[in-house]
């Protein structure tokens, strides 16, 4: 799941300062983990433990209250017992990559992705975005190539993944909905040749850069294996010790990306 976290850190600066090129500094001053990383770690911790997603999201979210959460999620975070709120935001997809690494079959991945999403993002599009992202991670981890991943995700979820980035980029703008960002983030991965190009592709669209890079980065890690050492080291250096401990436990339980 480091792929999603590193993508989040790399994209963090460019959410407010969008770029329309893949030529940018990966870790400029101010690059930091955001809510994408906090909740990805929380998902992993829930998978390592009792599977209580609401408790994990609240525990981590309250420990890092300044990570940049959406308004409705932040209200949910601070309200004990609050239920889902029909969100179709991409928050369900940004945090789900550990599910794709941890579960043993496509059906299990889809069910667990839906369960992780539904505690907040219970709108059908919110569920779909999480499932598509987690399944892409799972398929990549199983050795599927880009062509097969494209076909499977497009057929199962109805996303148009045939559009090239060059056609999307000029008119694309900030969009936090699953339906308006998950397909584009997956296309960023589908046009990549390695982990770094996947993240650069996602950021270069000029949209919700940290979340889209987290989505593309999670799938890219599953497809290409361990992150380049310089990127992994830069990401590790920006994470608190408790995040690193969860990463270590998760890799020990479910195995590294290979």
pLDDT single digits (tens) 3-22 = 999 999 999 999 999 999 99
pTM, full prediction: 0.97
Rounded distance between C-alpha atoms, residue 141 and residue 146, angstroms: 12
Determine the pLDDT at residue 108.
98
| Cross-strand bridge partners of residue 89 | 177
Using alpha carbons only, what angle is made at residue 60 by residues 1 and 113, rounded to the nearest 5 degrees?
50
As assigned by CATH, the class of the 2-252 domain is mainly alpha
Split at pLDDT 50, 70, 90, the class of 258 is: low
Rounded distance between C-alpha atoms, residue 106 and residue 119, angstroms: 21
The pLDDT tens digits of the residues spanning 98-113 come to 999 999 999 999 999 9
Q: How far apart are the first and last CA of the chain?
A: 12
Q: In the chain, what percentage of residues exceed pLDDT 70? A: 99
Average pLDDT, the chain: 97
pLDDT at 257 > cutoff 90: no
Is 138 buried (19+), middle (13-18) or exposed (0-12) by CB count in 10 A?
buried
The pLDDT tens digits of the residues spanning 191-243 come to 999 999 999 999 999 999 999 999 999 999 999 999 999 999 999 999 999 99
Please compute Rg for the chain using Cα positions: 16
Determine the pLDDT at residue 181.
98
């Amino acid at each position: 799941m480091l792929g999603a976290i590193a993508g989040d850190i790399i994209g963090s600066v460019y959410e407010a300062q969008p770029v329309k090129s893949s030529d940018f500094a990966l870790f400029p001053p101010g690059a930091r983990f955001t809510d994408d990383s906090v909740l990805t770690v929380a998902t992993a911790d829930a998978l390592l433990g009792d599977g209580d997603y609401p408790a994990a999201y609240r525990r981590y979210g309250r420990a890092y209250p300044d990570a940049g959460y959406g308004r409705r999620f932040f209200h949910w975070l601070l309200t004990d017992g609050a239920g889902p709120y029909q969100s179709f935001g991409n928050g369900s997809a940004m945090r789900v990559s550990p599910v794709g690494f941890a579960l043993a079959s496509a059906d299990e991945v889809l069910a667990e992705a839906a369960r992780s999403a539904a505690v907040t993002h219970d709108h059908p599009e919110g569920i779909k975005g999480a499932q598509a992202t987690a399944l892409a991670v799972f398929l990549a981890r199983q050795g599927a190539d880009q062509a097969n991943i494209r076909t499977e995700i497009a057929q199962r979820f109805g996303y148009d993944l045939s559009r090239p980035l060059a056609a999307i980029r000029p008119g694309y703008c900030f969009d936090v909905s699953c339906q308006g960002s998950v397909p584009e983030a997956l296309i960023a991965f589908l046009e990549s040749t390695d982990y770094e190009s996947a993240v650069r592709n996602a950021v270069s669209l000029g949209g919700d850069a940290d979340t889209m890079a987290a989505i593309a980065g999670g799938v890219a890690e599953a497809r290409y294996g361990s992150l380049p050492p310089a990127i992994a080291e830069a990401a590790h250096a920006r994470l608190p010790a408790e995040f690193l401990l969860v990463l270590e436990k998760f890799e020990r339980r479910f195995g590294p990306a290979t």
